[in-house]
Structure 1
Amino acid sequence: MSYDFAPLLRSAIGFDRLARLVDDAVSNAPANASYPPYNIEKASDDDYHVTMALAGFGPDDVEIYLADNQLIIKGNAPRSPRAGQILHRGIATRAFERRFALADHIEVTGAELVNGLLTVAVRQITPEALKPRRIPISVGQPVSRQVPEKTTALGHAA
């Protein structure tokens, strides 16, 4: 199932990434979307943590990287050094790839693997240009209300 965002994109500029994000979420949902289990936590107004349960995985079995505004976490199935025969396998240690779409101005600040839990710290950074700013009000000086002179396409005064 796919949605047609053409009517929206005809009158909006710069939203093609949002349309692609929604389309990918709907049409490309992987069959193993529940593995490995994870939490997304909001630690503060600007800080988030993605925590994944990775029993049996070590730091060398996991890769974390950013590409095209996505946080991508891949795990390669660890080799079992055990010599015995496994009679029941209840702990999944299969390869996986999990992608998280990131908003603009997001940076990954760190990652740690402790007791089978991988935690990736993410922070939203607001650029100075996007922060609210106060415009000073001058007192005693009139604001220039002069209309700029119109020019033609060739740069001459009209």
Structure 2
Amino acid sequence: MTKLTLGAHPYMLGFEQLERLLERSAKSGNEGYPPFNIEQTSENSYRITLAVAGFSETELSVTVEDRQLVIRGRQAEDDGGRIFLHRGIAGRQFQRSFVLADGVEVGEAIMENGLLHVDLTRAQPETVVQTIQINKPSRGKE
């Protein structure tokens, strides 16, 4: 039995890129840290919220790379002579990636109470109706 993919389905033309995006998203290497939420804030907007306790704004970066939202965190090395009896607050570096659909734009990033909020908006595509003229085949000169 043959596996039917989006690119091979007879009624789904031009979706090969979507299939590649799904594969890339599955291989992005995201672990469970830091935890995050994704919420729909309106019909055409979303908010990603990451719990980044212990990180400052300067230790975080938010970039868009090849239709992927990439959020990275790296804390400066600060041993400061402190001796921890228990260290339960994770401070390790991280990278979270989110694949963005065409038309989704990254708005602002806001740091608030140990949470990083990244707002996204999706542009509403125009509905386009196109009429294709049907021509008769041209006959060669005899």
What is the CA–CA distance in structure 1 between the aligned matches of 2:16 and 2:44, rounded to whole Å?
A: 25
**What amino acid maps onto 1:22 in structure 2?**
L
Percent identity of the aligned residues?
36
CA deviation digits over 1:69-94, x for unaligned, max 9? 11110111233364321121100011
Which structure has greater strand proportion? 2
Output the CA distance in 1 between the equivalents of 2:83 and 2:135: 88
Q: Structure 1-normalised TM-score?
A: 0.71
Match of 1:18 in 2: 18
- Deviations 1:107-126, CA, capped at 9 Å, x for gaps: 11100111110000000111
SS in 1 for 2:42: coil
Matches of 1:97 and 1:107 in 2, distance apart? 20
* TM norm structure 2: 0.79
2:28–2:97 Cα contact (<8 Å) kept:
no
| CA distance in 1 between partners of 2:57 and 2:79 (Å) | 16
Cα offset for 1:149? Answer: 7.2
Distance 1:150 1:112, change over 3 A: same
Partner of 1:83, secondary structure, is coil
Distance 1:33 1:83 in 2: 30
Q: Which amino acid aligns with 1:17?
A: Q
Structure ranking higher on relative contact order (CA contacts 8 Å, 6+ apart) = 2
Instruction: Write the distance in 1 (CA, Å) between the matches of 2:58 and 2:81.
Output: 22
Partner secondary structure for residue 23 of structure 2: helix
On the 8 A contact 1:57/1:78 being kept in 2, the answer is no
In 1, the alpha carbon distance for the partners of 2:14 and 2:106 equals: 24
State the match for 1:143 in structure 2: none
Unaligned runs of 5+ in 1: 134-146
How big is the alpha-carbon RMSD for the aligned residues of Structure 1 and Structure 2? 2.7
Q: Within 5 A, what are the aligned runs for 1:74-89?
A: 74-80=72-78, 82-89=80-87
Distance (Å, rounded) in 1 between the aligned partners of 2:67 and 2:55 = 26
Matched residue, 1:97: 95
Map of 2:111 onto structure 1: 113
Q: CA deviation at 1:152?
A: 3.1
How far has the Cα of 1:20 moved from its partner? 1.4
Moved more, 35-44 or 60-69: 60-69
- Partner residue, 1:152: 138
CA distance in 2, matches of 1:53, 1:148: 57
The 2-side partners of 1:119 and 1:69 are apart by 19
What is the count of residue pairs matched by the alignment? 134
Conserved in 2, the CA contact under 8 Å of 1:78 and 1:93?
no
